[in-house]
C-alpha cells in the first residue's frame, strides 16, 4: 500500500449529506420561474455539478428561462438551505486523526454557496486547501481543481489520494493520475472502497 501525504475530499456526498439541501435550493429556483420540481434523475445530476451547469440542465427543454433562473438564483439567500445539510458521521474524529501527518483538501463543484459553507462549518480549521468552482476555469470532471491543490501544497500525484462518491469524482481522479477511494458507491472503479469516513484512517495512515 502506498504512503499518502495528502487526502483530497469531494464535499457533497462525502463530507456532507446535502441532498435535501440541494433539493430545496433548486426546487425553490424552479418554483420562482414557474417550473415543476426536479425529478430524482435531475436531483442526482445537480448533486454532482455546478449551479450554472445544473440550471442549464434543468431548463434544457425551456432555454428561454435559463437567464431568468440564474438571475433568480443570484438573489436567493442560500442561508435558508443550510439547515438541511448534515456533516457525515465521523467527520471531526477522522480529520482529527489524520491531521497531521496528512495534509487535507477539498475539491468541489460548489460555487457561490461554498464560502458560506466554509464559514458555518469552520472548514478552514480542518483543510489546508479548499478549491471550488469559483477558483478554476474548468470545474470537475476536469482535474484543474485537483491539480491546483497539488501545486499549492507542493505534493506529487503519487502521494495524493482522492475521496469521492460519483462518476464525476472517478473521472477527476483518473485524469489527474491519483489513487481513488470510492465512498458509498461500489459501482465505481476505485483503488479502495469504504462505507464510512471512519474506515479512512486505516487506508490513509498505512505504513506510517
- In order of 4, 74, 104, 105, the CA distances from 7 in angstroms are 7, 32, 5, 6
Torsional sign, CA 166, 169, 171, 177: negative
Mean pLDDT score, 15-27 = 90
3-state secondary structure of 47: coil
Q: What is the pLDDT of residue 82?
A: 82
> Using one digit for the tens of pLDDT, what is the confidence trace for 34-93?
999 999 999 988 877 778 888 999 998 888 899 999 999 888 887 788 888 899 999 999
Q: What is the DSSP string of 55-72?
A: HHHHTTT-GGGHHHHHHH
* 192 and 93 part of one domain: yes
Domain of 37 in residue numbering reads as 19-83
* 128 and 190 part of one domain: yes
Mean pLDDT, rounded, of the chain = 91
Q: What is the pLDDT of residue 1?
A: 55
Residue 173 covered by a domain: yes
Give the residue ranges of DSSP H helices in 33-179: 40-46, 51-58, 66-74, 91-98, 114-121, 144-153, 167-176
For helices 19-32 and 66-74, give the axis angle rounded to 10 degrees: 120
Tell me which of 29, 56, 83 is where a domain ends: 83
Query: What residues have CB less than 8 Å from 132, skipping those under 6 apart?
Result: 106, 108, 109, 110, 111, 114, 145
Asked if 48 and 168 touch (Cβ cutoff 8 Å), the reply is yes
- Pairing of the two strands 86-87 and 16-17: antiparallel
> Using one digit for the tens of pLDDT, what is the confidence trace for 110-167?
887 888 889 888 999 999 999 999 999 999 999 999 999 999 999 999 999 999 999 9
* 43 and 120 part of one domain: no
Residue 1 covered by a domain: no
Q: What is the pLDDT of residue 23?
A: 92
In the chain, % of residues over pLDDT 70: 98
DSSP code for 208: -
User: Rounded to an integer, what distance in angstroms lies between the CA atom of residue 198 and that of residue 28?
Assistant: 34
User: Does the pLDDT value for residue 2 go beyond 70?
Assistant: no
* 32 and 95 part of one domain: no
Q: Interior CA angle at 138 toward 170 and 126, to 5°? A: 65
User: What's this model's pTM, rounded to 2 decimal places?
Assistant: 0.82
Asked if 117 and 110 touch (Cβ cutoff 8 Å), the reply is yes
Q: What is the pLDDT of residue 208?
A: 52
* 186 and 99 part of one domain: yes
Asked if 155 and 103 touch (Cβ cutoff 8 Å), the reply is yes
Residue 92 covered by a domain: yes
Q: What is the pLDDT of residue 207?
A: 65
* 59 and 43 part of one domain: yes
Amino acid at each position: 500500500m502506498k504512503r499518502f501525504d495528502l487526502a483530497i475530499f469531494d464535499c457533497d456526498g462525502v463530507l456532507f449529506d446535502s441532498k435535501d439541501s440541494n433539493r430545496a435550493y433548486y426546487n425553490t429556483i424552479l418554483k420562482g420561474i414557474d417550473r415543476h420540481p426536479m425529478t430524482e434523475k435531475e436531483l442526482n445530476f445537480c448533486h454532482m455539478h455546478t449551479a450554472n451547469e445544473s440550471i442549464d440542465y434543468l431548463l434544457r427543454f425551456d432555454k428561454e428561462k435559463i437567464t431568468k433562473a440564474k438571475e433568480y438564483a443570484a438573489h436567493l439567500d442560500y442561508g435558508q438551505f443550510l439547515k438541511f445539510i448534515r456533516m457525515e458521521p465521523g467527520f471531526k474524529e477522522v480529520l482529527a486523526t489524520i491531521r497531521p501527518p496528512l495534509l487535507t483538501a477539498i475539491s468541489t463543484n460548489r460555487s457561490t454557496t461554498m464560502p458560506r459553507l466554509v464559514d458555518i462549518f469552520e472548514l478552514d480549521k480542518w483543510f489546508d486547501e479548499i478549491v471550488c468552482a469559483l477558483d478554476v476555469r474548468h470545474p470537475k470532471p476536469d482535474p484543474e481543481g485537483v491539480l491546483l491543490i497539488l501545486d499549492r501544497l507542493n505534493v506529487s500525484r503519487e502521494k495524493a489520494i482522492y475521496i469521492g462518491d460519483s462518476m464525476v469524482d472517478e473521472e477527476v481522479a483518473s485524469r489527474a493520475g491519483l489513487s481513488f477511494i470510492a465512498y458509498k458507491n461500489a459501482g465505481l472503479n476505485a483503488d479502495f472502497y469504504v462505507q464510512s469516513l471512519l474506515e479512512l484512517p486505516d487506508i490513509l495512515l498505512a505504513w506510517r
